Amino acid sequence: MMPDSADGAGPEEEDQARQEEDLSDRGLGGLKCFVIMPYGSKADPVNGVTIEFDAVYKELIRPAVTGLGLQCVRSDQVSEAGLIQQDMIRHILDADLAIVDITLANPNVMYELGVRHTAKRSGTIIVRQTGSHIPFNISGMRAMDYHALNAAGSDERLTTDIVRLSAHIRTALSLSTVDSMVHALVPGLNVSLPAKEIRKKQITKYRFDETDRRISIITGDIVNIDEIDAWVNAENTRMEMGRLHDRSVSALVRYFGAKRNARGHVVVDTIVRELTKKIGQNTLAGVEPGTVITTGPGRLKEDNNVRLLLHVAAQHGEPSHGYSTVRGYVRCIYNVLYAIDEHNAGQKKRRPESLVRSVIFPLFGSRNSGINPSDLAYDMIEASVEFLKQTRGSHLEEIAFLAFTTSDLELLNTAMQRNGLTKITEPKPKR
């Protein structure tokens, strides 16, 4: 919301900033909640009652948000000066969750609610003080009422309101139900900032049970990863690997797995050769969707410690329409993981040092049209967790997902939250 005043940050605001910075450090960017509301003291033009919006934020909204481990940013905190509108729009588009206080129907708040509902199909919570007026054009939207903080018995009711708001937050993050009128009326609408490549490798691990097995997110370029035993290449049904200079995982696996001369030119197309040999002469016929073909890693063995490549037919091409993710993409996940177990069964006695204990998946076609990226990320992680739960005797200990862009990271962070996984917090080194 456009600021009504230019008060400087006091000790409490500085302390909050430190807490949010700490949450960001521990959470790999963490899930972010953007709060859109008036601030300061405002009088209700209908009944003349003064509402202390700063108290609503500090005593109700912020405790509910940070109590669940989310980063909490209010709309008047987005910028000290200058490009506040640009920063505000970025927060509205990027935030995993938005809480919007429509009490008094402030014009700036209503404008920002409209932007949020256009940008995000879900993850928006509307709140208002009990008894306040709701404009007719949004009267059909669900809103959580909270009690006035200066009312008699406000302490008890405040505690109740915090619990209720916390429950709304959990629901908004765990379900993909459409809460935007815009997206309900215009299915398939997609409004987002361009995804930025993440250059820094960072690993965040999640626990789903009491064992040491884990689901992970690894950021950055896959060619910088040397901790994972097996890499998954989401290939098309003809197993036609990407061109050498493309930015796809397929192209990177092909180039960095090949034998190259001193000038960096490919002299032996190692992975393509082995893949073609396994498919056979009739390569145009391709394979059925979900088929997994394993190959050796080529040069990736020496450079990245890769033991196995798994090429899964997760993309289907159509003339003049390009490639799209196959409808059975969840089956692709299971097929890859069962293929790893098969590989391990053959290596257990013969070469136990070659057992695959970790694997990394890219997101399958998260930028393809016709598929909801949030549902895709959720389904991929859910399938991975279910596989590990059902195969207690598996040698597989870690299933990782690649977050090459900021968009990938947002999708995966939200999917982990929706699947109920617990982040493993590594102790900070002592200084």
Which has more confidence, 297 or 1?
A: 297
pLDDT band, very low/low/confident/very high, at 420 (cuts 50, 70, 90) = confident
User: Would residue 196 count as lying in a domain?
Assistant: no
Which residues are CB-contacts of 299 (< 8 A; sequence separation ≥ 6)?
256, 257, 258, 259, 260, 270
Which has more confidence, 63 or 43?
A: 63
Q: What is the mean pLDDT of residues 284-299?
A: 92
Q: Which amino acid is at 83?
A: L
> Are 152 and 216 in the same domain?
no
- pTM, to two decimals: 0.74
Q: What is the per-residue pLDDT for 8?
A: 42
> Are 322 and 396 in the same domain?
yes
CA 212/CA 197 separation, integer angstroms:
31
Domain encompassing residue 26:
11-185
CA 77/CA 106 separation, integer angstroms:
18
> Are 165 and 302 in the same domain?
no
pLDDT of 358 above 90: yes
CA 362/CA 365 separation, integer angstroms:
9
Q: Which amino acid is at 377?
A: A
Which has more confidence, 283 or 405?
A: 405
The total domain count for the chain is 2
> Are 276 and 386 in the same domain?
yes
> Are 176 and 254 in the same domain?
no
pLDDT of 214 above 50: yes
Q: Out of 122, 150, 185, pick the residue that ends a domain.
A: 185
pLDDT band, very low/low/confident/very high, at 189 (cuts 50, 70, 90) = confident
Which has more confidence, 187 or 111?
A: 111
> Are 253 and 310 in the same domain?
yes
> Are 74 and 125 in the same domain?
yes
User: Would residue 307 count as lying in a domain?
Assistant: yes
pLDDT band, very low/low/confident/very high, at 431 (cuts 50, 70, 90) = low
User: Would residue 197 count as lying in a domain?
Assistant: no
pLDDT band, very low/low/confident/very high, at 79 (cuts 50, 70, 90) = low
pLDDT of 17 above 50: no
What's 144's DSSP letter? E
> Are 68 and 167 in the same domain?
yes
Which has more confidence, 326 or 366?
A: 326
Among 180, 215, 221, residue whose Cα is nearest residue 202:
221
> Are 222 and 345 in the same domain?
yes
> For residue 50, what is the domain's CATH number?
3.40.50.10140
Share of the chain above pLDDT 90, in %: 52
**Contact status, residue 61 vs residue 39, Cβ threshold 8 Å:** no
Most confident of 121-125, 152-156, 290-294: 290-294
3-state helix, strand, coil in the chain (%, to 5): 40, 20, 40
pLDDT of 22 above 90: no
pLDDT of 12 above 50: no
What's 249's DSSP letter? H
Q: What is the per-residue pLDDT for 18?
A: 44
pLDDT band, very low/low/confident/very high, at 146 (cuts 50, 70, 90) = very high
Q: Out of 158, 185, 212, pick the residue that ends a domain.
A: 185
Of 98-102, 292-296, 335-339, 404-408, the least confident: 404-408
**Torsion, Cα of 426, 28, 407, 236 (10° steps):** -20
Which has more confidence, 151 or 69?
A: 69
Mean pLDDT over all residues of the chain? Answer: 85
Phi first, then psi, for residue 90 (nearest 5°) are -60, -45
Per-residue pLDDT reduced to its tens digit, 326-345: 999 999 999 999 999 999 99
Per-residue pLDDT reduced to its tens digit, 215-271: 999 999 999 999 999 999 999 999 999 999 998 999 999 999 999 999 999 999 999
> Are 173 and 288 in the same domain?
no
pLDDT of 15 above 70: no
Q: What is the mean pLDDT of residues 16-32?
A: 45
